[in-house]
Amino acid sequence: MKQCESIIIGGGPAGLRAAKALLESGARVCLIDRNASMGGQLIKQTHMFFGSEKQHASTRGISIQHKLLSDVMRYGSRIEILSETHVVGVYQDKVIACMKDDRFFKMRGEAIIIATGASEKHLPFENNDLPGVYAAGAVQTLMNEYGIKPGHKVLMVGSGNIGLIVSYQLMQAGVEVVALAEAASQISGYHVHASKIKRHGVDILTNTSIKRALGETEVTGAELWKLDESWQGIEGSEWTIDLDTICISVGLAPLSELFQQVGANVEYVRELGGNVPVIDNTYQTTIDGVYACGDAIGIEEASSAMVEGEMTGIYAAHAMAKAHPNESTRLKALEEELAFLRSGPHAEKIRVGYKKRGEVS
């Protein structure tokens, strides 16, 4: 069995920054991702980041990806990257099982960092499984990574930042956004994103949701309806729109399967997006030597994932007796960064979620 010092599962913003911290500490890193390229969802993010200059605000996600990747690649032989590799098992003796090109193999590490990120949620409505109903982030991948339009006319469901940003990016790709439906009475994402698409003539319909998708083999339309204060559909308020694509942007759920599989304690915290691992203040799960960071421990922005990733890398290095050269000053700075990123009104849910997790663990 192959021996590694540290194994990181997931090469997104959290995993890449964890890798960098471990490399700076002198450790060897094996970074695994099921995709062909590293960077996670940054690879398709053509918009500029907000938040903190220290976490690359005002830089496009795609450029951040290049930066994070070159930061780790310069360590040469100490970093090994396994792409298109699926981790199918994590065991308590810090052994992981992988599949790559139909080949099954196992590896053992002194520290394992699980940074698997999140997946987009779906919404229950009639015909929600028709081809043409996509997660908003999936459409972003199709357009910005592969240069393909999802269709000609799109309904966006959900006005969080992903829904707003992807609506704008659909227009940049030359796709018509016919409407954006939001179940709540207010737009939930940043108003700077909402204003941008409103200026381009997109109707943002609050107190509105999709009742059903129309079509036999593919989406040909959508039936919308108004919702009352308790988010129940109002009979008789329905109307239909002809379109060929419906994008669902109703939040993300942490990918927690590997935590459950290894036997780590997992708790349901609604504000953090779903099932999240219980972690201590060094980002270690309840399994010795198994760490977690990024969206996998609670849905936030990529900037927070990067900060958490670096902290996790530093703590994991410390536990392997490989201290980061600026361990204490770096950790203090990163703590302050995180507090800053979680300080705004939009981070209220995250603050509540973390408090709850503190209580459940």
Partner 1 sequence: MRIKAHPILSFEAQKAVPFTYDGQTLYGLKGDTIASALHANGIKKLSESIHRKRPRGFYCAIGNCASCNMVVDGQPNVRTCITPLKEHMDIRSQQGKGQVK
3-class SS of residue 350: helix
From candidates 131, 231, 323, 358, binder to partner 1 by CB under 8 A = 131
From candidates 149, 211, 330, 356, binder to partner 1 by CB under 8 A = 149
**Cα radius of gyration rounded to whole Å, the chain:** 21
Q: Which amino acid is at 140?
A: Q
Stretch that binds partner 1, among 49-57, 166-174, 287-295, 328-336 (CB under 8 A): 166-174
From candidates 39, 61, 132, 274, binder to partner 1 by CB under 8 A = 132
From candidates 130, 184, 214, 333, binder to partner 1 by CB under 8 A = 130
The nearer residue to partner 1, 21 or 118, going by C-beta atoms, is 118
**How many residues bind partner 1, per CB under 8 A?**
38
Please report the sign of the dihedral spanned by the C-alpha atoms of residue 326, residue 43, residue 15, residue 82: negative
From candidates 52, 59, 141, 261, binder to partner 1 by CB under 8 A = 141
User: Is residue 255 part of the contact set for partner 1 (CB under 8 A)?
Assistant: yes
**Contact 252/127 with Cβ under 8 angstroms?**
no
Least distance CB 295 / partner 1 (angstroms): 12
User: Is residue 217 part of the contact set for partner 1 (CB under 8 A)?
Assistant: yes
User: Is residue 332 part of the contact set for partner 1 (CB under 8 A)?
Assistant: no
The nearer residue to partner 1, 137 or 160, going by C-beta atoms, is 137
The nearer residue to partner 1, 14 or 317, going by C-beta atoms, is 14
CA distance 264 to 258: 9
Please report the sign of the dihedral spanned by the C-alpha atoms of residue 164, residue 169, residue 172, residue 176: negative
CA distance 38 to 180: 31
Least distance CB 136 / partner 1 (angstroms): 10
List the beta bridge partners of residue 97: 89, 106
DSSP notation for 194-236:
HHHHHHTT--EESSEEEEEEE-SSS--EEEEEEB-TTS-B-TT
**Contact 242/221 with Cβ under 8 angstroms?**
yes
User: Is residue 315 part of the contact set for partner 1 (CB under 8 A)?
Assistant: no
Catalog residues that contact partner 1 under the rule CB under 8 A. 34-36, 41, 46, 60, 84, 86, 102, 119-120, 122, 129-135, 137-139, 141-144, 146-151, 172-174, 217-218, 255
